[in-house]
Amino acid sequence: MVKFIEAMTAPEAPGETIEKLVGVYRVLIPHKIAAYTYHLNNTSTITDAPTIRSLKLALNDEFEDWRDGEMLIQSLLETEDDVKRAAAHQQRLEAILVRAGGIAGQGSIGGPMPVAEEVPV
């Protein structure tokens, strides 16, 4: 995740606003929404009511942030080159997250858990 955050925050030049926004609104926030939704779907309505409420509040905030950020991105995509830059940066960041095992780690969003190596006793 350190590599992902570094890559997401790396674009600093004035001409890299598209990349900066893409990192947050097309990669980070959608992955957070997926992780929160996964955890929400795996809670017990009997024992996890406070967790469910918290996750729903967080999801609502994330959806609003995503919507507003996507509107900003779309307002900046004026040429084919802009679209290519956005897609290329998104692809780079997504690849880093895949290598990291996702935003919450391997096995956290429905994928298989990594197989633990047996330690000889």
pLDDT digits (tens, 9 = 90+) for 59-79: 999 999 999 999 999 999 999
Task: Spell out the domain ranges in the chain.
Answer: 2-100
Low-confidence stretches of the chain (pLDDT beneath 50)? none
Distances in Å between the Cα of 105 and the Cα atoms of 8, 60, 99 are 18, 23, 10
- pLDDT at position 55: 96
Would the pTM of this model clear 0.75, i.e. be above it? yes
- pLDDT at position 120: 61
